[in-house]
Amino acid sequence: MFTDLVLKTLDDEPGFFEVVNDVFYTWTDEDQIDHRYIVVAGTKTDLASIPRFLRWAFNRTGRSRKPAVFHDDMYSKKWRTRKECDQMFKQMLIERGVSRWSAAIYYSGVRAGGWTRGRW
């Protein structure tokens, strides 16, 4: 479950946004343990990094917006392994109403291109 997300555009950094409020994502794992991840106000994001040739099919400001903010933050903090961050991204997309087919494509994209954000 997500709390509300408020973003502001950054005039000095086209394509980037700043998170205005602390935003939370909570989930229960397979062992029925509750977890919470927080993206703090002031965090910068480019939302989903969708290649230009695919932007007609995938809207980076649609239902993928919140999961993308969390995914960017998880990568920047090296929250867990890159694969675990990518799997969480897919889970969040599905929870936000993105079809399993589209979520699988997003997932494939971050698996294929996520290495450009560094290794850990």
Beta strands of 1-119 (E only): which ranges?
7-9, 17-19, 23-28, 34-39, 44-45
Count of C-beta atoms within a 10 Å radius of residue 113: 11
Q: How far apart are CA 21 and CA 94, in angstroms?
A: 23
Domain segments of the chain as ranges? 7-114
* pLDDT, tens only, 1-43: 999 999 999 999 998 999 999 999 999 999 999 999 999 999 9
- Burial of residue 99 (number of CB atoms within 10 Å: 0-12, 13-18, 19+): exposed
Tokens 């929250």 correspond to 79
Looking at residue 119, what is its pLDDT?
A: 57
Q: What is the mean pLDDT of the chain?
A: 89
